[in-house]
Structure 1
Amino acid sequence: MKYSLFFLLLLLPFLTLAQGQLQGKITDAQTRQPLAGAAIGIMGAATGTLSDANGNFTLGFSGPTDSILVSLVGYKTQRLPVSGNFLQIWLEPLTRTLPEVVVRGYETNQPLLKTAGSIGLLTLRELQRFNENSLVPALNTLPGVRMEERATASYRISIRGSSLRAPFGVRNVKIYLNDIPLVEANGTLPLNLIDAATIGRVEVLKGPAGSVYGAGTGGTILLETVKPELNESSVSLQGMAGSLGLQKYVVTASAGMEKGGLLVRYDKQILDGYREQSAMNREVVLLSGNLRPTEKQTFSFHTYYSKLYYELPGALTNEQFNENPRQARELNKDQHASINLNGLNIGLSHQYTFNQNWSNSTSVFGVFSFLDHPFTTDYERNTNQAFGGRTKTTYQTSFGSINTRFSLGGEAQRSFVNSRHYQNQKGAAGNLNFDDEVTAQQGFVFAQTDADLPWEFTATLGGSVSALQYELNRLSDVTQTNIGKQERSFEPQFSPRIALVKLLSEKVAMHGSISSGFSPPTEAEIRPSDGSFNTRLQPERGTNYELGFRGSALKDKLVFDVAGFWFLLQETIVSRTTGNGTVVFQNAGATKQQGLETSLSYEILNDKNRAVSGLKIWSNAALNHFRFQNYKQNDTDYSDNKLAGTPAQTVTAGLDLETRAGFYLHITTNFTSEIPLNDANTVYADSYFVAGARTGFRKTIFQQLQAEIYGGVENATDKKYSLGNDLNGFGNRYFNAAPGRNFYGGLQLQWVFKSN
């Protein structure tokens, strides 16, 4: 099938015929991402040009010149001497975040103001507002995003009401780590293997993004690990301690050079936990870096090894929760229910710019993990491996005065799981119940074009075709061996997206989009822990309509982002828990998910010369109306009921204060309305309001030693609430208590060695 993607656009010419020519590339000095739309001009002349989607530019000039001026909204303007025929230019971001900050979502590398779609952004500055032991508090500040922690290090992510059904791990949301897919062989995403402090940037694309990222109706999360500073080498030590037996130790060494960089980091975190049977122990080693041997190509790599152990306390009934929220379910304690996981994630990517028009980025990855899990119902030992790759070729051209960009690419992976289920005899493996080999092959191809149309419009049109196949080979069970194979294939699905942005002024833009998504069941849903193979479970399909506007006002002090959406999901997959504790899945007709999301921030002060150098207030909110449609279970009709697990309102607000002397203070509050916990809407988790804060002092000593001492409090209101809920729990066991008031403090020392 061929899809012809073509847009016409008109751009006022700004180039002049030239006798000399200068080429170069413009890159963000912190993220190492190319910057599109930067203005490059000859000092004292009217000659100028703009960088393309890959950060490249060609500047012609008719006479001698010794310097150029480079500027981009949200970055520091630079005046640079001209030496040679090629310049590598690194732009430093301004201290405050403007709507024009460049984002990578939808593979455009465009300013957020010119991006059609709802994107939540967390930079290193926002991530460091919290204790960095978990991404939960930071992600929960984004409107429309809800991250739950059912047990210590057991995470689930919901984007606009999707993705709440995984028994463990994250599903229905695509996650990329340094542009490389982060995936577990069973189809879920092992987000708990990642130490939050190793992440330096997060972008959340809300709603279907199948035109570029393939299957998935929930959304896409782009993670970047921390990177070494340019022309700087450092060694740092960090120690943290706190309530609930918290201990954390971090050692980091990094080197940043013009031609590349390298970072090595070791993290160890220990936690006794708030509840009984909720201890955690995690060790993480990260090796990442990049190499730029020539101006045209960049190699990037990461190796991420994690060793994780955490206990599972189990959900409580409402009576147990009210009596003592710290208790664990007796069966979980008797069976020593826990997760014991060793994982290795390896990724390698290569970016190459052939010329001003053509470029390519290609990545390959491998995932290897071993799981040893005593659950309440059985004892699982799994060996997983997955291999895959992703490639994208971009072509930028002009038809006369019309500029257009095209992207074509694909992603594929093959995974294999050897899953053995034994009887659980109080935390020890007993007799074998069954031994399975599960192979999954999935992939998609995509095409996208975007263009800057006349009258300040930018349009995007794209689509992907996705396919998936599972094969189950049951080697043995209690009674027999070589039982045979079963297969489940899903027909290729086309997921289109069309989007349009209109700049109303230099500071304000409107955007609208229509997109569809396809989300097949994961292996954990096709083959739950009871050993059955569900051939009736159908993939989810959804269509999203969205309209929003964003921008800044009052000399960029006020920043706003508002979006409304209407999402219709067919064949919604819901979960329920059987009497023996097994989580099983079924399709539930359709859901209609409508919502309004807002983000507002106001920068009261931003002057490094004043005693109080920075002061900002902000607030994010989401209003949701999520309902089942055409959903019947036996003789019970749940149509028009609220979607389980989703609050109708969430509001987060905060204050950020910084002083010239180095003192800082971050305050965050969160309100979440009541949450239905079953499809019948007969049980609800109460609404809650919680607050937290982090304060500290940073100081540079002897020009090379940077010291920071910090401390904070979480759940300062000591509110009793359930952050992670078991939906449709059997025996009315729904509630997993969040920690009460707790404190933490730490010290970080960093030795910095500057290079010329």
Structure 2
Amino acid sequence: MMRLILLYLLLILPAATMAQTIVTGSVRNAQTQQPVVGAIVSTNTGQSTHTTPHGEYSLTIPSEATYLLISHLGFIPDTIVIQHGHSIVYDTQLQPRQLILPEVQVQGYETNRPLLQTAGAISIIDNEVISRSDESSLVRAVNTVPGVRMDERAPASYRISVRGSTLRSPYGIRNVKLYFNGIPLTEANGTSALNLLDAASIGSIEILKGPTASVYGAGTGGTVLLEPKRAKLGKELKVGTTIGSYGFRKYNAAASIAAAKSNVLVQYTHQQSDGYRDQSALDRKVLLISPEFYVSGKQTITSHLIYSDLYYELPGGITKEQYDQNPRQARGGEFGSVKQNASMNQESINVGLKQEYRFTDNWSNTTAIYTLQRFRDHPFNTDYERNASQEFGGRSSFTFNSAIGSIATTYTFGGEFQRGLEIAQTFDNNSGAVGALRSDNEVTAKTGFIFGQAEFELPADFILTTALSLNDTQYGIKRLQLATTGDYTFTKDFDAVLSPRIALLKKLTDQISAHASISSGFSPPTEEEILTSDGALNANLQDEKGANYELGIRGYTLQSKLSFDVVGYYFRLKEAIVSRQDASSVAVFRNVGSTSQKGVETALGYTFINDPASLVNLTKLWTSYTYSHFRFKDYTIYKASEQKEIDLGGNKLTGVAPHTLTAGLDVATKLSLYFNATINYVDALPLTDENTVYADSYFVAGAKFGYRKTIAQKLALDIFAGADNLTDETYSLGNDLNAFGNRFYQPAPERNYFGGISLSYTLK
């Protein structure tokens, strides 16, 4: 009998094995190429599983199973017909549904939760928003976000204001922390070279508004999380070109390959422009290599290499009379921009490596390291600067999931460190040529912090978050030569600062949540504020400190057609840093007491049609509105002409418009035609701390029309044309605040046009 049983097993087991098929694969977001966690993979015969934190799955199915159903809330389900064999791999991309806010995952505050479960003012800019225009810069995309304004004083000369943070930014990005692929992009000296990136290199952007120092270190303005563009599933070759007004032309080429275990994108872009104004040409070349490897269900390794070769000219600010007479002219006079060849020549390479490792179901770690090399050749109106920078740094965070009784808890703790060395030399500028040496400095910047955060999922759908960080910054300046003062060594070591944050979120329904938070932050002066471009040492400048109180509600209703996100806040900033130009156009910085900043930020979206079977299959209207009631407190200046102190307490905050409004319309059809339109209104805003000069309000509009078609599932074609500033407004996008000689204005282009074509071919 035993022999018969053994013989039966020997005969039946191979048959049973032959009747089983092992299906493995991955599930990714078709727009962002990020893994879809927790997707349900099921068969018509009842077998099912969920995707891992890396979007992977494995499922053994019987021979009678005919199809797989892959589904996840917030995505359109996908069905795959099974081709039976011993082992089959299916890699799937799910298309996100429109406006399904609860399932939009965010990285903000290291929570990695759905947006509806994250307490804080967070705005998301996906690749669809970035590509609504000509992708010449991120300005138009960022300016769709309430509470955030991005300026472009000259091509590739950017400023970002989050709730009024450009007060201390005559140029460049300060008081806002930037990360790329989870790795610091803001340097140890407090500045951020966003212009080394091309808009086409960005896959998505998260903007966290207000102090976020508890998790992201120093900064009272906010944090911007940039994610690199990732490869689409399969093998793809892509080329494209765009041309436009004022000699604008852009060329791009990309090759990518993505499978279950890897995702590699290589992209090159070259953008050129003659510029709207005199002395405003641009030439930028960017190479992005963005690989990602899914080593196992426990380990993911991502990295990036960004090489940037950037040249852009600086037309300079002009007066109101010059602005009205001819907005295309550059700054003239003895130190005119054309005469002095005011421009920036910058070559840089940024390399980062990040590993995510899950030790157990409860323990995980993310560690990132990076290095940066940059060279600048910068003739300015009043001097000539040559700098070389070298920097390295890293960030590591651990996450532990546990429970206190029935209360699920998540603990996150870690730290970040950066060290940078800059060799900075300034010379006389002899009509665009290097003159006599003025100063020679070695500047060392060190900054770092440690942080801890705890999240508690309380009864009645409350989520409580508490966080704390300890931050430290130090600058060391070694002056090798200065014509007037000679050699010296100076060290500025700021006191370590504790920055707490506490937030509470209440899930009101499955579709709506409310949140409240109290947070504090600090922002030390940047190296350029301590050591100004004329070589002066601003040794007494102190760091800003502020506290923020916030209340918001977000969600969707009307059968998911209407989305809304409303936040009100009150921010009190002490030792606020402001800038003012002197006679030689050098920015001088000082602490002025405090500011009171109250505001409301609103984002609304309504989808009228979202039906792939309809002739018009998508019609969506969206808008964002910002109200800002920002005032100086405890601020006095000495007015030499009147020989007395002037009290500016109660004045409006310089450079902040009380009202801004952006709205857009997106339409797509079954005939592969699409249309995007955007309008933007900015209220009049003060250009001086005294509130004696204002920039006029302006209203501009832009539109893009295109044809997007996939042919034979291999060739994707996109032909488009569009226009910006259809209202032909004369306005300034990036005013110079408190400018000497009343040179406040940096005029933006008048009505201009663009058009282009993009081709991508998928290789099987």
Match of 2:712 among 688, 692, 702: 702
Map of 2:290 onto structure 1:
288
Partner Cα distance (1:351, 1:273) in 2: 43
Report SS of the residue matched to 2:109.
helix
Q: Find out whether 1:403 has 2:403 as its counterpart.
A: no
Partner Cα distance (1:446, 1:89) in 2: 37
Partner Cα distance (2:467, 2:57) in 1: 25
Q: Give the deviation of 1:184 after TM superposition.
A: 3.9
Match of 2:94 among 78, 92, 95: 92
Report SS of the residue matched to 1:723.
coil
Match of 1:306 among 286, 305, 308: 308
Map of 1:446 onto structure 2:
451
Aligned-partner residue type, residue 494 of structure 1: L
Question: Is 1:627–1:642's contact at 8 Å kept on the other side of the alignment?
Answer: yes
Q: Find out whether 1:603 has 2:607 as its counterpart.
A: yes
Q: Find out whether 1:391 has 2:393 as its counterpart.
A: no
Question: Is 1:169–1:192's contact at 8 Å kept on the other side of the alignment?
Answer: no
Match of 2:743 among 730, 733, 748: 733
Question: Is 2:278–2:330's contact at 8 Å kept on the other side of the alignment?
Answer: yes
Q: Give the deviation of 1:66 after TM superposition.
A: 12
Map of 1:627 onto structure 2:
631
Question: Is 1:546–1:565's contact at 8 Å kept on the other side of the alignment?
Answer: yes
Match of 2:687 among 665, 677, 685: 677
Q: Find out whether 1:532 has 2:528 as its counterpart.
A: no
Q: Give the deviation of 1:76 after TM superposition.
A: 3.3
Aligned-partner residue type, residue 94 of structure 2: E
- Deviation sequence 1:386-445 (CA, Å, 0-9, x none): 100000110112344332111111100100000000000000110000100000110001
Report SS of the residue matched to 1:273.
coil
| Cα 1:58–1:198 shift into 2, 3 Å | closer
Deviates more, 1:49-58 or 1:262-271: 49-58
Report SS of the residue matched to 1:172.
coil
Partner Cα distance (2:629, 2:189) in 1: 32
Q: Find out whether 1:718 has 2:718 as its counterpart.
A: no
Deviates more, 1:675-684 or 1:118-127: 118-127
Map of 2:500 onto structure 1:
496
Map of 1:203 onto structure 2:
206
Q: Find out whether 1:514 has 2:518 as its counterpart.
A: yes
Aligned-partner residue type, residue 424 of structure 2: S
TM-score (norm 2): 0.91
Q: Give the deviation of 1:93 after TM superposition.
A: 3.9
Partner Cα distance (1:71, 1:571) in 2: 52
Partner Cα distance (1:314, 1:475) in 2: 30
| Cα 1:547–1:56 shift into 2, 3 Å | farther
Partner Cα distance (1:182, 1:284) in 2: 16
* Matches for 1:221-236 after TM superposition, within 5 Å: 221-230=224-233, 232-236=234-238
Report SS of the residue matched to 1:253.
strand
Partner Cα distance (2:73, 2:497) in 1: 39
Partner Cα distance (2:412, 2:492) in 1: 31
Q: Give the deviation of 1:668 after TM superposition.
A: 0.1
Question: Is 1:156–1:164's contact at 8 Å kept on the other side of the alignment?
Answer: no
Q: Find out whether 1:574 has 2:578 as its counterpart.
A: yes
| Cα 1:636–1:429 shift into 2, 3 Å | same
Q: Give the deviation of 1:478 after TM superposition.
A: 2.3
| Cα 1:705–1:89 shift into 2, 3 Å | closer
Q: Give the deviation of 1:166 after TM superposition.
A: 2.4
Partner Cα distance (2:130, 2:422) in 1: 34
Partner Cα distance (2:555, 2:484) in 1: 66
| Cα 1:44–1:447 shift into 2, 3 Å | farther
- Deviation sequence 1:165-220 (CA, Å, 0-9, x none): 22332111111111111134642101111111111101100111111101100000
Match of 1:469 among 462, 470, 474: 474
Question: Is 1:71–1:77's contact at 8 Å kept on the other side of the alignment?
Answer: yes
Partner Cα distance (1:453, 1:586) in 2: 45
Partner Cα distance (2:348, 2:437) in 1: 24
Map of 1:142 onto structure 2:
145
- Deviation sequence 1:289-311 (CA, Å, 0-9, x none): 11112221011010001111111
Partner Cα distance (1:42, 1:571) in 2: 62
Partner Cα distance (2:90, 2:359) in 1: 16
Map of 1:75 onto structure 2:
75
Deviates more, 1:327-336 or 1:736-745: 327-336
Q: Give the deviation of 1:125 after TM superposition.
A: 1.1
Partner Cα distance (1:606, 1:385) in 2: 50
Q: Give the deviation of 1:318 after TM superposition.
A: 0.9
Report SS of the residue matched to 1:321.
helix
Question: Is 1:156–1:163's contact at 8 Å kept on the other side of the alignment?
Answer: yes
Partner Cα distance (1:54, 1:499) in 2: 28
Aligned-partner residue type, residue 355 of structure 1: T
- Deviation sequence 1:271-330 (CA, Å, 0-9, x none): 011111111111111111111122210110100011111111111111111111111111
| Cα 1:39–1:505 shift into 2, 3 Å | farther
| Larger Rg belongs to | 2
Aligned-partner residue type, residue 143 of structure 2: N
Report SS of the residue matched to 1:738.
coil
Report SS of the residue matched to 2:101.
coil
Q: Give the deviation of 1:480 after TM superposition.
A: 7.5
| Cα 1:395–1:29 shift into 2, 3 Å | farther
Aligned-partner residue type, residue 365 of structure 1: Y
Map of 1:558 onto structure 2:
562
Q: Find out whether 1:115 has 2:97 as its counterpart.
A: no
Aligned-partner residue type, residue 428 of structure 1: A
Aligned-partner residue type, residue 691 of structure 1: A
Partner Cα distance (2:88, 2:146) in 1: 43
Q: Find out whether 1:365 has 2:370 as its counterpart.
A: yes
Map of 2:762 onto structure 1:
752
Map of 2:19 onto structure 1:
none
Aligned-partner residue type, residue 315 of structure 2: P
| Cα 1:256–1:721 shift into 2, 3 Å | same
Aligned-partner residue type, residue 161 of structure 1: G
Q: Give the deviation of 1:72 after TM superposition.
A: 3.7
Map of 2:671 onto structure 1:
661
Partner Cα distance (1:44, 1:489) in 2: 67
Q: Give the deviation of 1:703 after TM superposition.
A: 2.9
Q: Find out whether 1:435 has 2:440 as its counterpart.
A: yes
Aligned-partner residue type, residue 639 of structure 1: G
Deviates more, 1:185-194 or 1:385-394: 185-194
Question: Is 1:88–1:295's contact at 8 Å kept on the other side of the alignment?
Answer: no
Deviates more, 1:685-694 or 1:73-82: 73-82
Q: Percent identity?
A: 47
Q: Give the deviation of 1:651 after TM superposition.
A: 0.5
Aligned-partner residue type, residue 468 of structure 1: T
Q: Give the deviation of 1:50 after TM superposition.
A: 8.7
Partner Cα distance (2:596, 2:385) in 1: 37
Map of 1:652 onto structure 2:
662
Partner Cα distance (1:147, 1:328) in 2: 22
Unpaired runs of at least 5, structure 2 = 1-22, 60-64, 639-644
Aligned-partner residue type, residue 612 of structure 1: V
Question: Is 1:75–1:91's contact at 8 Å kept on the other side of the alignment?
Answer: no
Question: Is 2:166–2:655's contact at 8 Å kept on the other side of the alignment?
Answer: no
Unpaired runs of at least 5, structure 1 = 1-21, 60-64
Map of 1:256 onto structure 2:
258
- Deviation sequence 1:487-528 (CA, Å, 0-9, x none): 001111111111111111111111111111110000011101
Task: Say how many residue pairs are matched.
Answer: 728
Question: Is 1:246–1:271's contact at 8 Å kept on the other side of the alignment?
Answer: yes
Question: Is 1:53–1:110's contact at 8 Å kept on the other side of the alignment?
Answer: no
Question: Is 1:562–1:598's contact at 8 Å kept on the other side of the alignment?
Answer: yes
Question: Is 2:203–2:229's contact at 8 Å kept on the other side of the alignment?
Answer: yes
Partner Cα distance (2:726, 2:597) in 1: 33
* Matches for 1:47-66 after TM superposition, within 5 Å: none
| Cα 1:87–1:454 shift into 2, 3 Å | farther
Map of 2:326 onto structure 1:
324
| Cα 1:433–1:394 shift into 2, 3 Å | same
